[in-house]
Amino acid sequence: MKIGIPRVLNMYENYPFWQKLFAECSFEVLLSPESNMELYQKGIASVMSDNICFPAKLVHGHILWLIEAKVDRIFYPIVQKEAKEWDAASNSFNCPVVSGYPEVIRSAIDPEGNYGIAFDKPVMSFHDIDILRTQVYNYFQTLGIDKERFDTAFDTAWDFRNETKNNLIINQKELLKKCLESGEMVFVVAGRPYHADSLVNQKVGQILADLGITALTDDVFLEPQPKEPPKSKRFRLAERFGIGFKRLNMVSQWSYPNRVVHAAMEVAKLPDNVQLIQLNSFGCGPDSFYMEEISQILRQAGKNHTVLRIDEIASPGSIRLRIRSLIESLKTAKG
């Protein structure tokens, strides 16, 4: 059986887990390709609201690509919560767009009704490993996978997820350490996992690299995941108290925005050669009030709050110009 997975939204965070899990259960997994304007235009006719963020609009094209690839099933779960990374944060919800978009796709495209391809959107939550194990098994049971095989596959997939995440975190921490020692300029580009899509971020990382700047993501301020087998919720993620969340003027209930706020708090503690760029998608509700909080955190540390608003414009020229101007102004202020 060939399982199609769209390269969209929270799949940028959770794909290593899902891919490994399906593979360990002997399913073939087909991931939709990297986004481009052709893929975006393929699905634009089924977008139900022009006010929705650009990463959500891209989902439609990825689903249609999987349909054309004639997969047997499309797997796109409703994930209500991600893992809670800070005890002091109020919660770890996905925003309504991320968690609810499988329902939008069912209504707008209906892969099963219109194309005869099963569209699986089970409800999942990563905030508790025991709950996640039960939810995922309930789904895999419908695919004919027995409990013994599933448990082995689940443990392997969780280990692989942590290993993948740890590589990203550890490598970036090493780069940050070198930049702090040398004093060279480094930008932490903070946003959502799906802002890693080069069509969404308009190649901001490449632009920074071309200008001689080290670019990191907000993952650099996360802690590596524990290696213990995921037998209990206490192994879900490396938890930290995160006292800074208690001092915010907002409810820290959204998983991905919490990371951006935490990144701002960490950047505020570091020397002036470490700056933050926030990626913001037009139409993002949580960002509308998170940006004010982030701006205040950085302002108190005497640092800039640079926001790059991104939408479906394909030319990165304006972003390149703005980043170049920012770098020159920081160099002038330092000189």
- Reported as a single tens digit per residue, the pLDDT across 278-305 is 998 887 877 877 888 899 999 989 998 9
Question: What does the pLDDT read at residue 158?
Answer: 95
Q: What's the pLDDT band for 96 if we cut at 50, 70, 90?
A: very high
Question: What does the pLDDT read at residue 236?
Answer: 39
Question: What does the pLDDT read at residue 289?
Answer: 78
| pLDDT one-digit tens code per residue, 153-190 | 999 999 999 999 999 999 999 999 999 999 999 999 99
Which residues are within 8 A (CB) of 113 and not within 5 positions of it... i.e. 6 or more apart? none
Domain 171-334, CATH: 3.40.50.11900
| pLDDT one-digit tens code per residue, 58-91 | 999 999 999 999 999 999 999 999 988 888 888 8
By the 10 Å C-beta count (0-12 exposed, 13-18 middle, 19+ buried), 134 is classed as exposed
Question: What does the pLDDT read at residue 196?
Answer: 92
Question: What does the pLDDT read at residue 233?
Answer: 44
Question: What does the pLDDT read at residue 88?
Answer: 80
Q: What's the pLDDT band for 218 if we cut at 50, 70, 90?
A: very high
Question: What does the pLDDT read at residue 46?
Answer: 95
Q: Stretch 6-22: mean pLDDT, rounded? A: 96
280 closest CA partner among 292, 272, 288, 271: 288
Q: What's the pLDDT band for 34 if we cut at 50, 70, 90?
A: very high
220 in Cβ contact with 173 (< 8 Å) = yes
Q: What's the pLDDT band for 227 if we cut at 50, 70, 90?
A: low
| pLDDT one-digit tens code per residue, 262-277 | 999 999 999 999 999 9
pLDDT at 317 over 80: no
Domain segments of the chain as ranges: 2-157, 171-334
Q: Structure tokens of 4?
A: 């199609």
pTM over 0.75: yes
Question: What does the pLDDT read at residue 87?
Answer: 80
Question: What does the pLDDT read at residue 85?
Answer: 85
Question: What does the pLDDT read at residue 226?
Answer: 67
Question: What does the pLDDT read at residue 228?
Answer: 56
Residue where the block lists tokens 């022009």: 50
Percent of the chain with pLDDT over 70: 92
**What long-range pairs does 96-103 form, CB within 8 A, spacing at least 24?**
96/285, 97/9, 97/52, 97/53, 97/56, 97/285, 98/9, 98/10, 98/256, 101/8, 101/9, 101/56, 101/59, 101/76, 102/76, 102/77, 102/78, 103/78
Q: What's the pLDDT band for 36 if we cut at 50, 70, 90?
A: very high
Q: Stretch 110-118: mean pLDDT, rounded? A: 97
Q: Do domains 2-157 and 171-334 have the same CATH topology?
A: yes
DSSP state letter for 181: H
128: left (phi over 0), alpha (psi -120 to 50) or beta: beta
Q: What's the pLDDT band for 150 if we cut at 50, 70, 90?
A: very high
Mean pLDDT of all residues belonging to the chain: 89
pLDDT at 117 over 60: yes
Pairing of strands 123-124, 78-79: parallel
Question: What does the pLDDT read at residue 238?
Answer: 37
How far is residue 81 from each of residues 10, 75, 92, 151, 256, measured CA to CA in Å? 10, 17, 5, 22, 10
pLDDT at 254 over 80: yes
Instruction: Quickly name the fold that domain 2-157 has.
Output: Rossmann fold (3.40.50)
CB atoms inside a 10 Å sphere around CB 261: 24
CB atoms inside a 10 Å sphere around CB 316: 17
Question: What does the pLDDT read at residue 321?
Answer: 87
